[in-house]
Amino acid sequence: MEGAEVYVEAYHRNVFERLYLGTVGQPRPLTRHRLERFRSDQHIVFRVKIVEPSSGRLVAFAKDIRAGEDAEARRRSLLAVTVAPLDGLVYKVDFPEGEAPLLTLNERLDGVTAGGVKGFAHNPLFVALVFPSVIREVLFRFLVVDELSDEDSYEDGPEAKWLRFAKAANPDPLPAVEEKEARLDWIGRTVGQVGEQLRVIERFASALSEET
């Protein structure tokens, strides 16, 4: 993975310009660059590709990135978070129609960590144990219950954002709608890939060692 090459592509309709930004292990910072192929009045968006050079395999992919858009804000937009009374539950996930999935945290956790319940959401134990389960639940809803397909990733809306997020984490082809078991396996691998990216094992081990 360290040797995988990083490319950023600016595009508008059928016009695009590709920039090479080095490798994952040795990125090549780009502070200024003039996009010569575009007019100032065009709505330019960007996509990022991580490519294995020996095979040409696409390792990771993100699209529809706009200039000046905060990456952390994009991640948050996948999942709305709120606080409410929950009878005996740490969290629950709801799916408001037309909106991002809603993660509700039990308000009784508000005083557990520094920063209140929002700080709890970034706690290593929460990230390691709860967040992967939330991802699995959301993907199960969209891919197994709602039966999204590859074509839906080109649409707007929360379902399409989650599908693009999942496919960026897991480059394996998404199984067909009727292949339920294969989809469940695909979801499991996707959650595992996200866990690796978030270093949940290291976070969990570090949190446990601090408590002993």
Q: Is 96 a residue whose pLDDT tops 90?
A: no
In the chain, domain spans: 5-69, 76-211
Higher per-residue confidence, 68 vs 62: 62
pLDDT digits (tens, 9 = 90+) for 141-176: 999 999 988 777 666 788 888 988 898 889 899 999
pLDDT digits (tens, 9 = 90+) for 189-209: 999 999 888 888 888 888 777
Higher per-residue confidence, 67 vs 134: 134
Inter-CA distances, 98 with 102, 141, 156, 181, Å: 11, 14, 10, 27
Mean pLDDT of 54-77: 62
What pLDDT is recorded for position 153? 64
Higher per-residue confidence, 123 vs 133: 133
**What's the rounded Cα separation, in Å, for the pair 51 and 61?**
9
Mean pLDDT of 181-195: 94
pLDDT bracket for residue 1 (50, 70, 90): low
Specify burial of residue 159 (Cβ count, 10 A radius: 0-12, 13-18, 19+): buried
Mean pLDDT of 117-145: 84
Q: How many CB atoms lie within 10 A of CB 116?
A: 15
Pairing of strands 15-23, 45-51: unpaired
Question: Who's near 36: CB < 8 A, 6+ residues apart?
Answer: 17
